[in-house]
Structure formats: C-alpha cells, structure tokens
Structure 1
Amino acid sequence: MSNGLAIAAITAVFKNLLEDGLVQNAALSSMGNVLVTTLPPDQISIGVDGQPQLNLFLYQVSENRNADLGKSDAKGGKLRNQPAHHQASTEEGTILPLAINLHYVLTAYGNKDFQTEILLGYVIQLMHQTPVLSNATIRAMLNHVATINRSGLLAQAIESTSVEALTEQLDQVRIAPNLFDTEQMSRLWSLLQGSYRPSIAYEVSMMFIASKKSSLAPGSSKEALNQPQIEKIVAWPTDGEIVAGSSLIIYGKNLSEDITLLRLNGGENLLEPQIVEDNRILFKLPQNLYAGVHKVQVVHQQLYKYQNCKDLEVVSNEQTFVLHPTIQFSVKEESCNP
C-alpha cells in the first residue's frame, strides 16, 4: 500500500461527500442539522431529542481480484488502454499495484416519522450521481478536511506527510451500492452487534500505483530516472494528417517511468498520456491547438517527491510535428422571392 493513511483518507472523503450533499440539498433543510459520523454502530444511541444522523462504518477490507493491474502482454505486445502509472514492473525491488475494496454500511437514524426514509432516499440519489471520484476531487476534499479541523486526528496525521503525497499514488475511486438481501443484512448486523436500523451497503474500489520496496528518507539520494528518447511521431490509427484533437503515437526508447507526462511547446501544463509502453506512447492532442509546427517532450518525474531533492524530472529530446488546420464551412440557404 502506498500510504498507511489511504484507507482513513477515503473514509474521510466519503464522509465529506455526504456532508456536502446534505448541506446543499434544500429538501433536507426542514430536518435541521444532520450529523454524519463514522462510528461503530454499537456505539450509537439516539435519544428522544436526538438529531437525525447518518453513520458510515467501514466493516471490511478485501482484495479486488478483478482489477487489471496493467501487466504487459508478453505475446501480442499491443497497446493496452491503461494509464501510464499502472504499468506494473516485474523488476527486482518493485511492488506491483495493490487493488482493494472497502466495504461500508451506511445507516440512517431518526426519531420522527419518515426521517430515516428521507435520509436514505437522498443519500442513495447522491451516491448514484457520484459513482466515481477522480484524483483531483479526492485531493480537494482532503485539503478541505485537513483545514476545517486542524486539531482532528486525521488532520494531524496528514501533517506528518502531505495531501499531495497521500494522493499522488492513488488512482480514481469508484463507489457502487451493494444491495444486500434480508439474510445478508441480518448476518451483517449480527456481526456488528448493534440494533438494526435501515441501511445500505457500499463497496468502494481503489487502486494504488506500483511503488518501490525501498523508501528514501527526506534529503537522501534518489534513484536516477532513465533518459527518454523520442524517435518519431505519427498519427493514430492512420498515418495521415495531424489535426487538433488527433491521437498520436510517440515511438522511442525508455519512454515508460513511474510517472510519464508530456510537455507541448515548452509549456508548464503537462498532458497525461492514455497509454504508455517502453517504446511507444499514445496521447490525444488538445482541441484548442493552433495550426502550425509544434514541439513535444516526454517528461519523467519521481514517484516520491521529497524536500531538498533537486532535478525531480528528466526530459527527452524535443520532436516536432505539423498540425494541419481544420476547415469548417456552412452553407446558408437563401430564399427566392417570386
């Protein structure tokens, strides 16, 4: 696992997603403040005057055996639709990516008619509209969590590392309902040893990027990155004209690294390729590029970024390509008056 705080971080993101969704839902304003907690169900008790409550409890962690960890195809060697950071290495000293599922039970508590039904209904709607959390969304939510309660346990733990370090090896997170039948839900609540309340189970799938066994201490020397080299660039799937929005294939040597990005025309904003292999990269051009001659570089970055480390990236030679203009025209119909 990339970071020991990853599971707690995902629980915090899930909780923050619920809190924001409830606050922004005007239909729930009549309920007042809805408390969202992450406690074991047997530790929750609501009195007569208790406020409505949602409780998110992580009850199991399992391995996701169905995840494609980006292993190379030894036979065909064809391009595979895997992000660059999922290219698993079998070299000595490398740990393959770990895919896990987090199993949550989400329970609604209320002491008035229809409170639990309304809460569960809006939560199910919210989660149905948010099936995937991108890396950028997770990073933004964790920054929010770390700032609203700096004295909290998770915020203090994050201070020992950083939100960037916590999320840089984490791919997108998928949230899916796990609809239990009566027997399955009964077994779950028997295991939890709590008083049954209306609940829904969710399964959160997360993927960690491959990492090295040996971790570097801050300020220590880092492993040298390979120098990438570009040999040629062609359009894909056909070797035709290159226009804005085209997919291109870069051919070369040492193109794959822990983090592989692309730089256009020496700019600061880097592009993430769709597929990365050691001798070729597939990427898509932005739609807003102007016609003319453009330059592209392959950029390798360190998977672990530490203070006092310099030269955190290695770049390839620049290779040029010609972007052809796209001609658009419209035919205006003119009416003829007799």
Structure 2
Amino acid sequence: MSSYLAVGGVSALLRWLLSNALTPNGPTTLLGGGSPGITATSPDLVQTGADEAPHLNIFMYYASLNPALRNESEPSRNARGEAISNPPLALNLHYLVTAYGAGQFDPEILLGWAMKVFHDTPVVPRAMIESAMTDLSTNNVTPEGQLISGCLLATQFEHIRITPEALTTEEIYRLWTAFQTSYRPTTSYQVSVVVIQDTASYASNRPVQRRGVLALPSQAPVITSVAPNPVLAGGTLTILGQAFTGDTPGGTLVSFDNAAGLPPDTVQGTTLRIAVPATLQAGTRTLRVQRTVTYPISPAAHAGFSSSPMPFQLLPVITQVNPASVARGSAATLSISPAVGSAQQVVFYLGDTALPIEARALGNPPVSQLALTVPASFATGKWPVRIEVDGAQSRIALDTTNGSPTYGQWLPQLEVTP
C-alpha cells in the first residue's frame, strides 16, 4: 500500500523512465550530443524563448478518483465514530508531456521519442519502480526526493499503468490558456491506479466462534412524560412510561443528547429516576430510555431497544454573585451551573433590562463564571439577576426567611451604587 507521497512518486517515476531510456544513439545524438533536460514542473515555470534548450516536461494537471475501486471497501467508521477499516483512496493521475526546443525539429524528435518510451512500458514493473525510488534517494538528493523515495509505491497491490489519453483541440486550448504561457507540442497520458491507504490501527471484530439466536418481542420503551420540566441544574428527573425494564433492571439505561447511556438511580416498570448529569449544558435537551440485550452465549450487553427522544429544558442556576454590590459601569462575577459552552447564547437580566454578552471564541472550554457589566447609566438600587442560556432562563426566588436582611426581596440580586 502507498502513502500520500505516491502522487509525487508517480511523477518522479515517469521522469526516471525517460531519463533511464536515454542512450548515445537516441535523442542526445540527434540534438547535437547534449542530453535534453527532463523536468516535472508546471508549464508556466519552464523557460521559453528563442534560445530555449531542448527538453521534455511532465506535468500532472489533474487527479481523479478511480471509479472501479472507489467503493471497494466498507465505511471506515462505525456509528460511534470509531475507525473500523482503512479504506483505500484510489486515484487516476492525468499528465501532459510537452516538448521544447529552439531547433527546427527538436520538439518533434523529443515528443516522438517520449511517446515511444511510454508505449514500450504500458505496465511499469515493480522492479523499475524500486530502481526509480532508489535512484531518487541516492543521486542528486533533495528534501522532496528524499520524502518521495519512501512512498512505498512499489508495494501497492495494483500495478501502475500508463495509458494514452485523447484530448480534444478545445480541451488542449483551454489547458494552455489556463497556463498563460506559450504553447508547445503536447500529448497526454493517464497513469492508474495509485492506491493510497493508511496503516493506522483500527477496531476489528473477532471471527464468529459460536452462533446464538434470541427471540424477543419487538416492544420498545415509550416515554409518556418527564417531570419536572423544566428542571434545575443538579435536579432529578422522573420519567414515566412503559416497557422500561427487560430481563434485568441493570439492562435499562438513560441517554442524554444521544450520548452513552447512564444507569438510572431507581428502576421500576413504568417509572425511572435519574439525576441530571453535571456535564449537560443548559437549554433544550433530549433523553431516551434504552434497553440492552444479553445473549445466552455472551455476558456482554448489546444495544437493544430505544425509545423516541423526549425533549426537556434544563435551567441554569446562579450560585453566587460576587461582589454583591458594584458601582455603575463596573462588573460583577456570576457563578453559573452548569458551565456555559462557547457556542451558547447568553443574556443577563438585571431587573427587567436585558444585557446580552458577546459570544466567546469557538472551541474554548465551558466556563462556570461570567462577568456582568452594569451600564454606566443604569439606575441605582437592588435588582434581581437572571441569566438566559440558549433560551433557558434561571429562576429567582422570594426570600421568606424571617430576620433575613433580604426578607421580602427577590434573590439572587445585585446592588447597583452610584
């Protein structure tokens, strides 16, 4: 199997085939004894003019997917996102071979000779590929050549085939117009198949040792209600419905937002209770009830039946306001549970005034503290504070404790001073 360097390896291989085919009786003699240069670069980088040296240029202008091998392998990841195979990337490479020369017949001689070399090598033997890569790593070594020499092109399971490709006059005109350089005699070839495949490890199921059949009624869990809804962060949800339990209570799980299932705190036939995970962010969330299945021949639990998703709203909670009193134009720090993600929309409410905050940069970790800046023109006094995260708004509570300094006031609150 080849690495991604195989694309450059093919260009180096074609250049080596032409260089290796030069003989004293070939184009070197016909061109006055000077060995024509053979390059693999873009046509607009080739030096042209009245005194241009006779040489050949190979340019890969397009890479396409090989249709025969495109769907050869199975999907590379399972439903959990785990790699289960290393599917190959099979490519066809499309080349232009262009001849240059200031002499009257130099381009014709070189182009005809190059086409004869490729005609005589329709399938490149693995030994030739190995020789080309060895030569690339030992003679006139460059950093690029050193990299390409390790591309493992000779070890791939498909042969390298060189096939003439017919381009229309219009297609050639469009290509050379895109190059924005002077046209020279050109022919085209397709080189296939270049197979690029990773060697990374992946999960693989063991061969089947024993077969077992388990017949179960097709009865999925059904959720009829979730209470309380909305629920405060850190609260406990009571899920009502039917068909929650299977063979054992341990086979019942609750999944939040399609994450891995969690065992509930209590399990009954029609009732489940589970604490809201601390990692669940505020806003509209979903939960499912799942039942696993254990086969007689294996102790491992397998995914079985799942209910439809049931939405509920998770409210944020302001756990602390620090300091409790700030001057206008200053900021107070609010501790919030659960932590707020960078992609979540947040609005503070100071009294009845909404104070949206700017979104944080995506990718930042969730934060449990946010700064509330009081506008410089805000009225002084004690104001209840709320926070809204993705449409879920925290609650305020009336202090009914006798003797409390905030008796009869709504909490949490922030005092705004001049």
Q: TM-score, normalised by structure 2?
A: 0.43
Distance 1:34 1:27 in 2: 8
2:166 to 172, 179, 197: 179
8 Å CA contact 2:2–2:155 kept in 1: the answer is no
8 Å CA contact 2:70–2:89 kept in 1: the answer is no
Q: 1:28 to 1:146 in 2, by over 3 A?
A: same
> Which structure has the greater CA radius of gyration?
2
Three-state SS of the structure 2 residue aligned to 1:176 is strand
Query: Runs ≥4 in structure 1, deviation > 6 angstroms?
Result: 222-226
Q: 1:65 to 1:25 in 2, by over 3 A?
A: farther
Q: Note if 1:64 corresponds to 2:66.
A: yes
AA at the equivalent of 1:179: A
AA at the equivalent of 1:156: Q
AA at the equivalent of 2:5: L
Alpha-carbon shift at residue 182 of structure 1 (Å): 1.2
Stretches of structure 1 lacking an aligned partner (at least 5 in a row): 72-87, 216-221, 227-338
Alpha-carbon shift at residue 167 of structure 1 (Å): 3.7
8 Å CA contact 2:101–2:107 kept in 1: the answer is yes
Report what 2:86 is aligned to.
95
Q: Deviations over 1:246-287 (max 9, x none)?
A: xxxxxxxxxxxxxxxxxxxxxxxxxxxxxxxxxxxxxxxxxx
Q: Deviations over 1:9-56 (max 9, x none)?
A: 111001111111234653541312101111211111234443201111
8 Å CA contact 2:6–2:196 kept in 1: the answer is no
Map 1:8-87 onto structure 2 (within 5 A).
Answer: 8-23=8-23, 25-31=25-31, 32-67=34-69, 71=72
Q: 1:2 to 1:118 in 2, by over 3 A?
A: closer
Alpha-carbon shift at residue 68 of structure 1 (Å): 7.8
Alignment coverage as a number of residue pairs = 199
Three-state SS of the structure 1 residue aligned to 2:104 is coil
Between Structure 1 and Structure 2, the one with more strand by share is 2
Distance 2:76 2:69 in 1: 21
Q: 1:199 to 1:158 in 2, by over 3 A?
A: closer
1:126 to 94, 117, 125: 117
Q: Deviations over 1:62-100 (max 9, x none)?
A: 11113487x5xxxxxxxxxxxxxxxx5668521222221
Q: 1:158 to 1:197 in 2, by over 3 A?
A: closer
Distance 2:102 2:176 in 1: 20
Stretches of structure 2 lacking an aligned partner (at least 5 in a row): 78-83, 208-418
Distance 1:7 1:209 in 2: 9
Distance 1:155 1:34 in 2: 21
Three-state SS of the structure 2 residue aligned to 1:29 is helix
Distance 2:48 2:193 in 1: 33
Q: Note if 1:157 corresponds to 2:159.
A: no
CA-atom RMSD in angstroms: 3.0
Q: 1:211 to 1:155 in 2, by over 3 A?
A: closer
Higher relative contact order (CA 8 A, sep 6+): 1
Report what 2:314 is aligned to.
none
8 Å CA contact 2:91–2:194 kept in 1: the answer is yes
Q: 1:66 to 1:191 in 2, by over 3 A?
A: farther
Alpha-carbon shift at residue 123 of structure 1 (Å): 1.1
AA at the equivalent of 2:169: T
Alpha-carbon shift at residue 155 of structure 1 (Å): 2.9
Report what 2:155 is aligned to.
168
8 Å CA contact 2:156–2:195 kept in 1: the answer is yes
8 Å CA contact 2:162–2:189 kept in 1: the answer is yes
Map 1:1-338 onto structure 2 (within 5 A).
Answer: 2-23=2-23, 25-31=25-31, 32-67=34-69, 71=72, 88=73, 93-150=84-141, 152-158=142-148, 162=150, 165=152, 167-169=154-156, 171-208=158-195, 211-214=198-201
